[in-house]
Each structure stands twice: as C-alpha cells, then as structure tokens.
Amino acid sequence: MADSMKLKVVAPERIFYEGDVSFLEFTTTEGDMGIYPNHIPLTAIIAPGVLRIHEAGEVKEAALLSGFIQILQEEVTVLAESVEWPDEIDANRAKEAEIRARRRIEEGSGVDMNRAELALKRALIRQSLTR
Amino acid sequence: MASMRDIKRRKESVASTGQITKAMKLVSTVKLQKAKARAEGNKPYFTMLYDTICSVLGRTGTIDHRYLKANDSTRKAVIAITSNRGLAGGYNNNIVKEIVAQCDPKETDIYAVGKKGLEGLLRKGYNIVEDYSEVMNDPLYGDAIHIGKNVLASYENGEVGEIYLAYTSFKNTVVQEPKLMKLLPIDVEEIMQDVEIDVLTPMNYEPEADEALDMIIPKYMNNIIFGAFVEAVASENGARMQAMDSATKNAEDMIADLSLKYNRARQGAITQELTEIIAGADAIS
C-alpha cells in the first residue's frame, strides 16, 4: 500500500502546490474531511476552510475558500478558485472584511444573508491563519 | 510640385508619428510577453476543469440538467470582450463584425467588456445591458466571477436562453482569431466526443452528481470567461504590435519617398537659381 499520494492544487493563475503528501485535511460542503492515500474515488465541492497538507512530518496550512476536489486512489487534485498561503493574506483586510460582514448580518437584509455569512466565514478563516 | 518647405514639414510630421508608433510597438511587445505568460498560467486549471466536467457528464449521462438544455427564451446574452484602446488594427472591429454576423440586434443583450466594442455595438443598435470596461485594464479572476454570476442570473430567471462569449483567441503572435463561443447551455454532444469513460474507476459524488454539476458548471463558466480575458489581452497586444509595426514601416517608406522628393525639389530650386543668375549675367554683359 502506498503511503503517499500525489497532490496537485491548481489555482486559475498558477499551480499552487504540487507534491507527495501522506494526509490531507479540508472542508467540503458536506463537512470536514481528512483523507489518506487509497481513498475511494470521490469528487466533492469545497466550502471555505483550512487546507492542511501533511507531507513527511511537516504540516502546511493554506486558506482554501472555494473550488472542488477530485480524489483518485493515488492522486488528488484540488481545483481552487481561491487559495492562499498564510503569508499572502492581508490580516488588516481580513479584519475589515469581518467587521463589514458582521454589520451586514446585523442589519439583516434578507437576500444578502448567505453572502454576508460566507464573507464572514472567509474573513475568519483568513484571520485564523495569520495569527 | 510642392514647395520645399511643405515637403520638409510633412517629413517631420511623418517622422514624429513614426517615432510614436515605434514606441507603441515596443510597449505592446513587452505587454504581450506578460499577457502570454498569464494566458499560459491559466491553461492547467482550465484543462483540469474541462476534464472534470467531461468525466462528470460522461459518468452520469444527465441531460435533464438546467444548464444543459435551453430554456424557453429566444434572447441571447453575449459577453463581448474587446479593448479600451484603439490603434490595434482590426482587433475590435473583428469582434463587432463577428457578433453582427451571428446575432440579431433585437434579440441580443450585450455585456460589454471593453469600450471600443461597446461603442461599435451601440452604433449597430444592440442593447447594452452592462458595461464592465474597466475590467480590461487588469482582468482579475474576481471580475470573471462577478460577470459570470450576473449573466448566469439572467439565464436562470429566463431572461435569456443562451449565453455566448465573443473574444479574440490567441493562436500565436501573428495570428489572432475572433471567436463566438457558446457558454450555456453546454453542448453535451460535443463534450461527449471528448469523454473517455474509464469504467474501472467509478466516481462518487458528494453531494450528488446533479448538485455537484450545479456548482461545477458556474465555476467552469467563470473560468472560461477568465481564460478569455487573459487571452484577449494577449491578442490585443499582439494585434497592436502588428498594427504598429506596419505603421512604422509605412512611415519609413513615406519618409524615404519624401526625402527623395525633397532632394529633387532642392536640386530643382538650385538649378533654377543658377539658370536665373546665368541669364542675369548674360543680360548685363
């Protein structure tokens, strides 16, 4: 049994990450997931969350905000619409976005509720990584 | 024959225009390199997205999805990608022509990206729904998402039945091709031709395949729009580079021609002066 799988994280403008990993954590629309090599084939939709890449004793974290993931036995591909390393995140901007989103939620203008909540979630995830 | 002074003035003006076109050519060459790199950076993402769409459709064989079959509206939405600046040869005009050839002005809603195309289509009597021209200065993925969402909204509430994308595809530095591409509904038959269904690895979907399609197809659309942006920027600079290159060459030709005329006029003037002096001297003696 293989103890590592190939991971490819592709963003629209660049290849974000490419390498062998032993374990991978991420968030899908159905909840948090962690996968080891030899997982059953699966396609899932990404929900905003933290992507944790476990490679040879080292854990790398990134903010993975939208996209989807395709899992094959020895190969995992993440098609990320939005993905950032912690050092690429602007903490102040994320803080501002959080405040903006909170205000919008308090005003409670029905239609944009989902959007505001998503924005809040994104802001919180970004901030959790910069700390 | 024009006077010496006229020719000289003309020559100077052509020379300064030539200088400008030469500078513009150099600028667009540099911009082209950058734009090309960007367009290529999008390729891996696009290929993978397309493969995923193919494998989802291939495995599920759904055709009943709302993004896969046309709704009742006969109107078309066209996202027209052109540039904000002219002097790029036929670049903008070709897109306008392409749209005029295939879409009826009365049945088409235009989402304009790029001022030049907007002006051209407005003159032809098209209905411009939205103007995203500022996007073209520096297209971001977020812009593509934003535009994709708006167009998709009008598709979902039945205002339009088909979504097209008009852009200039970048073949290479000298060849750019205007294209009108159908985004939605997705042409399932065309995709099916590309599908290689490997039955050995059945795929699970989480959520269900139909729901997954619901979320993947808009992303696919956004990415095509983004890909078209970056390609269009590369094409724009390629077209401008060529246009400015031939303008510079024409200016050089004109200068050569005018120099010849100028020298001839000068020689003529000298000869005439000499003749006059000799005639004058003859008259005195």
User: What CATH number does residue B231 fall under?
Assistant: 3.40.1380.10
**Are residue B234 and residue B264 in the same domain, yes or no?**
no
Nearest CA in chain A to B223: A12
Whether B225 and chain A come into contact, CB under 8 Å, resolves to no
Spell out the domain ranges in chain A. Answer: 5-86, 89-130
Q: Does the pLDDT of residue B200 top 60, yes or no?
A: no
| Structure confidence at residue B195 as a pLDDT band (50, 70, 90) | low
Tokens of B33: 């390199």
**Are residue B135 and residue B153 in the same domain, yes or no?**
yes
Domain A5-86: give its CATH superfamily.
Answer: F0F1 ATP synthase delta/epsilon subunit, N-terminal (2.60.15.10)
Distance from CA of A8 to the nearest CA of B (A): 11
Whole-angstrom Cα distance, residue B1 to residue B44? 63
Rounded mean pLDDT, B251-255: 95
Sheet of B108-113, strands arranged across = B127-131, B108-113, B76-81, B162-170, B176-184
At B42-73, the pLDDT tens digits run 888 887 887 777 777 776 665 567 777 777 77
Enter the ipTM: 0.71
| Structure confidence at residue B4 as a pLDDT band (50, 70, 90) | confident
Share of chain B above pLDDT 70, in %: 92
**Are residue B198 and residue B253 in the same domain, yes or no?**
no
Q: Does the pLDDT of residue A111 top 80, yes or no?
A: no
pLDDT at B23: 94
**Are residue B10 and residue B33 in the same domain, yes or no?**
no
**Are residue B12 and residue B31 in the same domain, yes or no?**
no
- Count of all residues that appear for chain A in the document: 131
List the beta bridge partners of residue B264: none
In single-letter form, the type of residue at position A37 comes to P
| Structure confidence at residue B242 as a pLDDT band (50, 70, 90) | very high
Contact across the interface for A45 and B207, Cβ inside 8 Å? yes
B261: nearest Cα among B13, B19, B14, B11: B11
Whether B226 and chain A come into contact, CB under 8 Å, resolves to yes
Contact across the interface for B44 and A13, Cβ inside 8 Å? no
A residues 8-37 lying closer than 8 A (beta carbon) to B: 10-15, 28-30
**Are residue B208 and residue B224 in the same domain, yes or no?**
yes
**Are residue B159 and residue B200 in the same domain, yes or no?**
yes
Which of A12, A13, A42 is closest, CB to CB, to B204? A42
Which of A30, A66, A77 is closest, CB to CB, to B206? A30
Q: Number of structural domains, chain B?
A: 2
Contact across the interface for A41 and B203, Cβ inside 8 Å? yes
CATH architecture of A89-130: Up-down Bundle (1.20)
At A2-25, the pLDDT tens digits run 678 899 898 888 888 999 999 999
Distance from CA of B213 to the nearest CA of A (A): 10
**Are residue B164 and residue B33 in the same domain, yes or no?**
yes
Instruction: Determine which of B138, B219, B225 to mutate to test the interface with A (most A C-beta atoms within 10 Å).
Output: B219
Neighbours of B182 (CB within 10 A): 13
Whether A68 and chain B come into contact, CB under 8 Å, resolves to yes
Distance from CA of B196 to the nearest CA of A (A): 16
Q: Up-side HSE of residue B244: CA atoms within 13 Å toward CB? A: 22
Distance from CA of B201 to the nearest CA of A (A): 7
**Are residue B151 and residue B173 in the same domain, yes or no?**
yes
By residue range, what is the domain housing residue B47? 24-242
**Are residue B146 and residue B234 in the same domain, yes or no?**
yes
